[in-house]
Amino acid sequence: MIGVDTAGIAARLGEAADTATAIGQLAAETGLDVDGAYAVQTALVQRRLDRGERLVGLKMGLTSRAKMAQVGVDEVIWGRLTDVMRVPDGGTVDVADFIHPRVEPEVAFLLDRVPEPGEPVGSFADAVRAVAPAIELIDSRYANFTFSLPDVIADNTSAGAFAIGPWSPVPDGLDNLGVLLEVDGRIAQVGSTAAILGDPRRALDEGLRLAGRHGVRLRSGWVFLAGAATAAVPLRPGAHVRAVVEKLGVASLRAA
């Protein structure tokens, strides 16, 4: 897109994240479209890589109706994960590092042999070495957690932090496992992995396809978050959060 200041928009979003200060939406004002927004995301993540962070995976967003409805955007999106975003399972995040953090239950894949560009997607069992329950902490850099499709893409799909529970070998079926999000021992959200594109394995096909469009290849050893099965809930200081996925177990984190 001619005239869009990709680096300038990335700098505004990067500053907002670094200082945990919300900003207004940018896409309408700057004429950003979806392709331009992915270019901003690339520049935004490059700022992190320039200060020594490492890419460790890909995350899908808005792969469930519950999430689409919560944020009013109905397209599947993807973003990048870096090592600094990873919190140990059972670890603590400081809410002061974020603007208005929310948590959501996810299923994570540990990637094994992902196809080369242009190669057909082989079997899920070839592409994925292990699966795990996970929690994603999302934190839109936009005021009131309100954004358009290009806005949220540019903002690296609200990626903030993530915790991954124990890895298990890929089970026979992943398509209808019960999902709970618990906060301080109370159930905050209930769902099923079926909410994720009918089967979370489809999220990997979508990720390969959508990221591939932008020349992004998934790597062996990367983590892949398939997208939340339920709406996200606000993360308050002191909260203890657990994501429970049937057959896969529990991922947890605490908020300081």
Residues 6 or more apart whose Cβ sits within 8 Å of residue 51: none
Which residues contact ligand OOG (rule: CB under 6 A)? 59, 61-62, 67, 71, 104, 136, 138, 140, 152, 157-158, 227-228
Q: Binding to Mg ion by residue 151, rule CB under 5 A?
A: no
- Segment interacting with Mg ion, rule: CB under 5 A, options 1-9, 136-144, 148-156, 175-183: 136-144
**Closer residue to Mg ion, CB minimum distance, 170 or 228:** 228
Work out whether 136 is an interface residue with Mg ion (CB under 5 A): yes
Quick one: DSSP state of residue 213? H
Taking the complex as a whole, the smallest distance from the CB of residue 87 to Mg ion amounts, in Å, to 14
152 binds, among Mg ion, ligand OOG, none (CB under 5 to 8 A by kind): ligand OOG
Q: In sequence order, what are the beta bridge partners of 232?
A: none
Q: Which of residues 199-238 bind Mg ion (CB under 5 A)?
A: 228
Task: Enter the tokens of residue 103.
Answer: 């948590």
Tell the smallest beta-carbon distance from residue 71 to ligand OOG (Å).
Answer: 5
Q: What minimum distance in Å lies between the beta carbon of 22 and ligand OOG? A: 13
| Contact residues for 119 (Cβ-Cβ < 8 A; gap 6+) | none
3-class DSSP assignment, residue 223: strand
Structural element, H or E, at residue 19: helix 6-19
What does 158 bind: Mg ion, ligand OOG, none (CB cut-off 5 to 8 Å by kind)?
ligand OOG
In this structure, the strands spanning 249-255 and 240-245 are antiparallel
Q: Which tokens in the block code for residue 130?
A: 């292990």
| C-alpha dihedral sign at 234, 237, 240, 243 | positive
Answer yes or no whether residue 135 interacts with Mg ion by CB under 5 A: no
Residues 59-118 within binding reach of Mg ion (CB under 5 A): none
